Amino acid sequence: MTGPWHLGRMAPFDLETTGKDPEDARIVQAYVGRVGGGLERVDLCDLLVDPGVPVPAESSLIHGLTTEHLREHGDPANTAIDIIVSAVAASLQERIPLVGHNIRYDLTVLDRECRRHRLPTLEDRPGGLVGPVLDTHTLSKHVDKFRRRSTEINPLDGEPYGAQVLRTTALAFGVEWSDNDAHGARYDALTSARVAWRIGQIAALPLRDRPREQGREPIRFNHVAVSLPELHEAQKRWAAEQDAGLRDYFLRLARGTRDLDEQIELTRRAESCTGHWPVYPFTAERQEQLG
């Protein structure tokens, strides 16, 4: 690819799942595509998956997919997961950047699903998981680190939308957002690609022309105006730095509460901030649990 990376082809990727923990979550919907580069969009993979286990009600509230619907309309998990990982691997083998929001969650879920169903993981396939990967969550936190939480309330939990969730990030970068269409794999993946494109576009602007919003530091976009291999490596460093800050934050909160259950939960969340990117490593302990 010649020219700025945001003008080239991208491979949007997103999963909808049964839960928040990537070690245990099962895939219920997946999208992998190709966009940009002056070419038409291609949908490589856009499917529903029967995970083989009940879908928790709290997860169904987010993506609208129930156990009954997936049993009737979803592809069997082992077949679907092979299709998904093959589509992702094809993009990486062609060095088309895989793009998503908090993509290490999705890549970790995909890795664990491959192992669960005795399928070759991305690392086991030709080319391996070498990137490039564009994580709009990591990129956004780096170039717009002081963004405040949204003033709008998330109806699912009654709390303001987080500063770096996809919805807030998209709106912060002027990317169109529809609450009615959100939390589907295809919509979220394509929105992430538009966010990545916008971040790259801003980075290509002269410093004086970059937008200044909510204390955003335009100079930080200089770090994004590099080659894809350099940006991939930079995101590893940024993710580690961001996790270290989040880990310290959770530990401070844990020390400040007398509620034992809250203390345990905050400590657990701190321990999950390992700094690994773009996928959490598979441990011997997890291998024993999978059998």
> CA 139, 171, 247 angle in degrees (round to 5)?
40
- pLDDT tens column, 48-74: 999 999 999 999 999 999 999 999 999
List the CATH number of the domain containing 241: 3.30.420.10
pLDDT < 70 regions, the chain: 1-2, 284-291
The confidence score (pLDDT) of residue 291 equals 54
Closest CA to 22 of 240, 283, 210: 283
- Distances from the Cα of 149 to the Cα of 122, 125, 158, angstroms: 35, 40, 13
Q: What is the pLDDT of residue 2?
A: 59
* pLDDT tens track for 268-277: 999 999 999 9
Q: What is the pLDDT of residue 3?
A: 75
pLDDT at 129: 73
Query: What is the pLDDT at residue 1?
Result: 46
Number of domains in the chain: 1
pLDDT at 215: 75
Q: What is the domain range of residue 94?
A: 5-290
Give the number of other Cβ atoms within 10 Å of residue 251's Cβ: 16
Report the sign of the C-alpha dihedral through residues 155, 157, 160, 165, in that order.
negative
